[in-house]
Amino acid sequence: MEVGQNSDIIVAGLRYHLQTQDLGHLKAEVISQVFLKGQIVKTISVPYPKATSQNQILSLVSIQHNEIKSLILSGVLS
């Protein structure tokens, strides 16, 4: 089962869209993409062990999404 989160984040008048999702057990990675004006400006992919449980994957998606959101809000990632 693939899971994901989406957020719109406004920083200095610019609207960023953050999308984070699990690519499923076959690929075993969580990927986040940051969009600005419809274009991908950053992609972050983090692999996880194939034996990871669904609850752990949900947690990984949430943690990664929130950490990247914090980086965008702080201006570190733009």
The C-alpha atoms of residue 30 and residue 50 are separated, in whole angstroms, by 12
In one letter, which amino acid is 13?
Answer: G
Tens-binned pLDDT, residue by residue, of the chain (78 aa): 568 999 999 999 999 999 999 999 899 999 999 999 999 999 999 999 989 999 999 999 999 999 999 999 998 887
Report which DSSP code applies to 12: T
Polymer length in residues for the chain: 78
Phi-psi region of 73 (alpha: psi -120 to 50; beta: other; left: phi over 0): alpha
Please give the pLDDT value at position 8: 98
Instruction: Quote the domain boundaries for residue 60.
Output: 4-74
Give the number of domains in the chain: 1
Task: Please return the burial class of 8, using the count of CB atoms within 10 Å of its CB with bins 0-12, 13-18 and 19+.
Answer: exposed
